Structure 1
Amino acid sequence: MNYASSVLWLAVAEDGSLVNAEPHRLGLPAGLAPGPQIAAVIEDCERVLRDVGRVAILDPEPTVKWPTKAARARFGLEMLVAVAASQHNVPCEELSRSTVRSRLGLPKAGRLDSHVGQVVKAPLSPNWKGKRDLAALAALSVEG
């Protein structure tokens, strides 16, 4: 999972390859009060968790400056995913970008998204660049 544009973007890896699974993202539904929003996200998480053996949440770039509202949204969604995973006995790991680089044998220099093409030859669509591409690296780094 990778947080961008107010949602967690998803990618699934199986046997060293990416699988084009649904849904592509998890986010807080608009128009609901906070309690029902949280319940809806947990329900969405439960649907996703039925089809995966483990969850990897990619940490942000260490140099990113987060406004409070954006940080709260990101970490709130990540916490809901971690809680749902725990309730369903699905391992959940938060990954630093340096860990992903190390596990996938990627260079230390440059932004992580600049190295996606070294690992992934066929991008998934939709919402690849800057969203699901980084989720794919996280998934591939814990798969297998």
Structure 2
Amino acid sequence: MNTVYSGILALFIVCGTPGILPANEFLLVGDFEYSIAGKPAIPIMFGPSSEQYYDVAIAKEAVVDGAMVSNPYISMSFTKDARVYVCPKEHRDCVSVQIEMDANSVEFFFDFRLVNTDTGEVLAGHEQVIVDGENYGRLGLE
């Protein structure tokens, strides 16, 4: 899911995967048309650098307080040092996200098990991402 992101904005996020990533330094929220499973979606990229990042898309209709979202309404990949980890076709339940919202923020709690299809290496973990402030509007949930 390597998409050209235009009109993106960096902001601070919280990272929750000890041993996989150092504290994330940026979050990119797309404000352009994107879809997943034929539904309008929110594209989000986060990680410590442009060489090491998660690329996520979540169907807008699924972003509801208290929701637990999984395939087909979410997709996720991870890129590190030109190696890409994806959700393999035979394991479509490899990523889920718990969503908590209030009037000014959305907190995403990701659980994932991604695979590098070239090497078979598995990357499993958890990530926590908070989108708030003026960037909350970029999610297009209002």
Q: TM-score w.r.t. structure 1 length? A: 0.27
Higher relative contact order (CA 8 A, sep 6+): 1
Q: TM-score w.r.t. structure 2 length? A: 0.28
Greater helix content: 1
Q: Which structure has the bigger radius of gyration? A: 1
